[in-house]
Copies of this chain bind each other. A is one copy, B any other.
């Protein structure tokens, strides 16, 4: 049985991923912010002591200002140093489409997510030697509780999108599940824009 750690796994996209992995019999540890606060390096260290080995690691976090401190950036770096991902495992990074098209309302998030995506790319080449896939998923507008807080009229917003709807967390959950279930490993090192054809750049 494969083991998985899903950060921010108590709601939204993280929860969808955790549920999807459970459906294929993974042993999933889904952390809430209370259990693991990536903005506290102490919390990260303490967590990593207890859970220092895993098959599938999902780096995911919310979009709070506090999170997007260098602590967040360093928090993820620290996790990757402390938790051993088993050979043939997976590391999924939930970043955001702001890494390519930065958002003036999410300036710190845009910056630090870009920074960590850069580190993640470099690491993907290291992890490749052990057949560990590093998959950077960059979601666009996804329908989560957080989104409902941020956007006044979600329905009106949805009508401005190419698919006339936001993405469902379950679509990302199923995507992660499918990769793991089918043991697809060569999809590594890439940024996957998961945004329902919303971004304008092609390359």
User: Does residue A157 face the partner (Cβ distance < 8 Å to B)?
Assistant: no
With a 10 A CB-CB cut-off, give which of A175, A193, A196 has the most chain B CB atoms.
A196
With a 10 A CB-CB cut-off, give which of A115, A134, A167 has the most chain B CB atoms.
A115
Chain B residues whose C-beta falls within 8 Å of the C-beta of A119 in the assembled complex: 102, 107, 110-111
Q: Are B202 and A191 in contact (CB under 8 A)?
A: yes
Stretch binding the partner chain, chosen from A25-33, A43-51, A52-60, A181-189:
A181-189
Write the chain B residue with the least CB distance to A194. Answer: B187
Q: Are B99 and A125 in contact (CB under 8 A)?
A: no
Q: Main secondary structure on chain A at its contact with chain B?
A: mixed
**With A175-B187, A195-B189 known to touch, is A202 a contact of B100 (CB < 8 Å)?**
yes
For the complex formed, measure the closest distance between the CB of A133 and the CB atoms of chain B, giving whole angstroms: 8
Q: Which A residues between 146 and 165 are near B, CB-CB below 8 angstroms?
A: 161-164
Query: Residue A73 contacts which of B104, B111, B129, B202 (CB distance < 8 angstroms)?
Result: B111
Q: Are A111 and B115 in contact (CB under 8 A)?
A: yes
Say which size band chain A's interface belongs to.
Answer: 35 or more
Chain B residues whose C-beta falls within 8 Å of the C-beta of A107 in the assembled complex: 118-119, 122
Write the chain B residue with the least CB distance to A137. Answer: B187
Interface positions of A (Cβ within 8 A of B):
69-70, 73, 98-104, 107, 110-112, 114-122, 124-129, 131, 134, 140, 142, 161-164, 167-168, 171-172, 174-175, 177-179, 181-203
Nearest 6 A/B pairs, CB to CB:
A178-B178, A189-B197, A203-B203, A128-B162, A167-B186, A70-B70
